Amino acid sequence: MKSGESIIFEKKNVLVTGGAGFLGSHICERLLKEAKVICLDNLSNSTIQNIDHLLQYPDFEFIKCDVNKPIDLEQFDELDKFKLKFQGVQEIYHLACPTSPKDFEIHKLESLWANSNSMINTLDLAVKYRAKYLFSSSSVIYGPPAPDFNVFSEEDEGLVEHLSPRGCYDEGKRFAETCVETYRQVYGLDAKIGRIFTTYGPRMKMRDGLVIPDFIVDALEGKDMVIYGSGDMEQSYCYVTDLIDGLIRLMHSDPDVSVVNLGHNQVYKVAEVAEKIIKMTSSSSKVVFEEPLVFLTTKGIPDLTKAKETLEWIPLISLEDGLQNTIDYTIANKEMMEFNHPNN
């Protein structure tokens, strides 16, 4: 079947790599409304608890698999019900990549592989099945913002230090995008790149150096809230359901739409976010400052013009509403989340 042809099946088959991660689990959940979902994850930087509630659905199947190695979906008996030899796969969302700030040094090789080996393996699958393909890239490809230039559009090329301690991730994402574009040119794939800016919400890993979940846990426990860097550091925050809606709209967009920024364009100081969480949780916590983590760097703000014009997409959830949802989820699931943290 050629990309773009009408699907004659009752439901399409969709593959999600990194499907047990933060974004992956949300996209699997959303896709079940319209598709049969194959979730691939090696659980090296995620947890099965993120998709526990999905395992009961007959249209969902989890496969523990390392996408850094060649992928043959038809070898898994569990996927017989998807009739892959007859129907194939219609869409591939490639989200697998470790993003742990505190454990970044430990996962450097995995980051390198995720931005190289897994790109080729998943793109080869897209060629095999003539599937539409979406890669979750990152705003880091733009490099650090300057005081007088901090809003990035898709045409901005940015400047990344490819030999820096972060090169395996930052330059890796740039190479990964090159892989996608090369397969577009050579094989005519309908392949998309979503450049994701900071996103938050339920199921983010706790005690991992991520700003919002760490702030919430510390606030609930009355501990000091640590800001790695200056309190003047600014960032935008997109709630996860908005981001997922953007990714799905991008997948469904016309073949000539290839690269789109997805995130929120409203900016807050990190210290301001900490104070909001303290107030919302009625916490006695204080804000303290420590040296920046290598993985946590200042990021720019997305120009969302293209997302608005081509996807008719804008983020809708306010920071206050998103924080409240995330606080409520953390309170309800804190014990389970701590028990299943990979560092425990």
pLDDT tens digits, one per residue of 7-46: 567 899 999 999 999 999 999 999 999 999 999 999 988 8
Q: Average pLDDT for residues 308-325, to the nearest whole number?
A: 97
pLDDT above 80 (res 5): no
Q: Which residues of 44-58 are buried (b: 16+ CB within 10 A; e: fewer)?
A: ebbbeebbeebeeee
Token code pair at residue 227: 């800001």
pLDDT band at 101 (very low <50, low <70, confident <90, very high): low
Q: Average pLDDT for residues 211-233, to the nearest whole number?
A: 87
Residue 342 pLDDT = 43
Q: Which of 22, 20, 44, 21 is nearest to 342 (CA)?
A: 44
Q: Which of 81, 43, 41, 45 is nearest to 62 (CA)?
A: 41
Cα–Cα dist 168/157, whole Å: 18
Q: What's the mean per-residue pLDDT of the chain?
A: 89
Q: Average pLDDT for residues 80-92, to the nearest whole number?
A: 96
pLDDT above 70 (res 260): yes
Cα–Cα dist 93/132, whole Å: 9
Instruction: Out of 133, 142, 169, 237, pick the active-site residue.
Output: 169
What dihedral do alpha carbons 125, 92, 172, 140 form, nearest 10°? 170
Say which CATH class 12-200+237-264+299-315 falls into.
alpha beta
Task: Please say if 228 is a catalytic residue.
Answer: no
Q: What is the pTM of this model?
A: 0.91
